Amino acid sequence: MVEMALILPLFLGLVLAIMEIGRAWATKQSLTLAAREGARVLTLPYGAGLTFSTESQKQDAAIKTVSTYLANSGVVVTADTEITAVRLLPMGDQILDTNDDKLEEGYSGGTRGDRIGIRIRHKFDTALPIILTMFSANQSGQSGVNMGVTCYLEHE
């Protein structure tokens, strides 16, 4: 009985931690795939006779695609979830993927060669941070883990 009383809480905590890490991993994968699907929509052409007549319609469709993908994969899109169309701009050195790049939200006037994409910020709801704060001096009691994903594709 004594051994069971000592080992059972540790075992249950380990099982809970493994389950929560698996849920977090699945959520992160869903966010990544949803951002990729949204970025694919952003690379579509727009204009007369095409599916989207303006760039803002195309961006709205990309955000809707991301929301639908997340909902279908089991990720709850709440008011805290931010889904934004973004464009990565090279600044002074005119080279992408350097420290001076600027991220432009809700861009307009996308042209061929631009690096455009979707940024998702999501709060993963879990009780694990509350449980972990019981063992620390910091008693913030914050629930959830902030996750973020950005996927860029080159505009065609």
- Relative orientation angle of helices 55-72 and 2-42, to the nearest 10 degrees: 160
Choice between 6 and 143, residue whose per-residue pLDDT is larger: 6
Model confidence at 137: pLDDT above 90: no
Instruction: Please tell me the predicted confidence (pLDDT) of residue 124.
Output: 86
Structure tokens belonging to residue 26: 């699945």
The H or E element containing residue 103 is strand 102-105
Q: Of 83, 100, 103, which is closest to residue 91 (Cα–Cα)? A: 100
What are φ and ψ of residue 48, in 5° steps?
A: -60, 135
pLDDT in tens, 13-67: 888 888 888 888 999 999 999 999 999 998 888 777 778 888 889 899 999 999 9
DSSP letter at 128?
H
pLDDT tens for residues 84-95?
A: 999 888 777 777
Q: Which two tokens stand for residue 90?
A: 């090279």
With 90 as the cut, is the pLDDT of residue 70 above it? yes
Domain-wise residue ranges, the chain: 2-154
Query: Which pair of structure tokens corresponds to residue 130?
Result: 């509350």
The pLDDT, as a whole number, for residue 95 is 73
The kind and range of the H/E element at 123 are: strand 115-124
Contact 124, 103 (CB under 8 A): no
Residue 52 in tokens: 């989207």
Q: What is the mean pLDDT of residues 57-81?
A: 92
In tens, the pLDDT along 95-133 reads 777 777 888 888 887 777 788 899 999 988 887 666 656
